[in-house]
Chain A
Amino acid sequence: DTEVTQTPKHLVMGMTNKKSLKCEQHMGHRAMYWYKQKAKKPPELMFVYSYEKLSINESVPSRFSPECPNSSLLNLHLHALQPEDSALYLCASSQGHSGANVLTFGAGSRLTVL
């Protein structure tokens, strides 16, 4: 069982909808990540939160809006998405300290934009 929990597992939305993806971890990790993965491609980093502050935004379009309410929770708010945004969205967490910074991934949320 993964220790990073993502909901929902599947999401279908229209281009005018507003939805959110949620991620939770209880490992005491202080860094949380959103990755996007298209079929047969590697994960691409979107955002990193470190100690609840946004530390990396990989030039992600504003239709994706991250939020970190506390050190255990990470949300990704979605609005006015395009069909090309359909992908597997992976949340991950790490201890956030220096060193290896090993990522633990959640099971992912598969998003389909119609």
Chain B
Amino acid sequence: QKEVEQNSGPLSVPEGAIASLNCTYSDRGSQSFFWYRQYSGKSPELIMFIYSNGDKEDGRFTAQLNKASQYVSLLIRDSQPSDSATYLCAVKEGAQKLVFGQGTRLTINP
């Protein structure tokens, strides 16, 4: 099984700053990458996904892929207290399976 690794944190960022979350993956052939946000006691919700062919920006969120070093990052600009959550990185394995990292707990301090 592919491996996906994240620093479990907690990562503490002041409000208004940029939060940077990273995820490394083991399979060089991976082509689809996902970031999910999970609030405590809730289910994961998709923030964004990217393919191996490029980065993506959506509002305050940017996902970037570094294929050479096999890591994916999520940048959150102008961090808000409502961004405090656990962020799960996932990599697609085969046609239907997602392999999740352990998640990084992010805290935005007002």
Contact = CB atoms under 8 A, between A and B. Distances in A.
Interface of A: 2, 31, 33, 41-43, 45, 48, 50, 55-56, 88, 90, 94, 96, 98-108
A104 B92 CA distance: 14
Main secondary structure of the interface of B (DSSP, over half): strand
Contacts of A101: 32, 92, 95-96, 98
A48 B96 contact: yes
B46 A90 contact: no
B48 to A, nearest CB: 10
Contacts of A104: 46
B100 A102 contact: no
B26 to A, nearest CB: 15
9 contacts: A42-B101, A43-B100, A55-B96, A88-B43, A90-B43, A90-B44, A94-B96, A101-B95, A101-B98
Q: Classify chain B's interface size.
A: 10 to 19
Given A42-B101, A101-B96, 17 more contacts: A41-B102, A42-B88, A42-B102, A43-B88, A43-B100, A48-B96, A56-B97, A90-B44, A96-B96, A99-B32, A100-B32, A100-B92, A102-B34, A103-B98, A105-B44, A105-B45, A106-B43
Nearest to A88: B43
A113 to B, nearest CB: 19
Max chain B C-beta neighbours (<10 A), residue from A42, A55, A107: A42
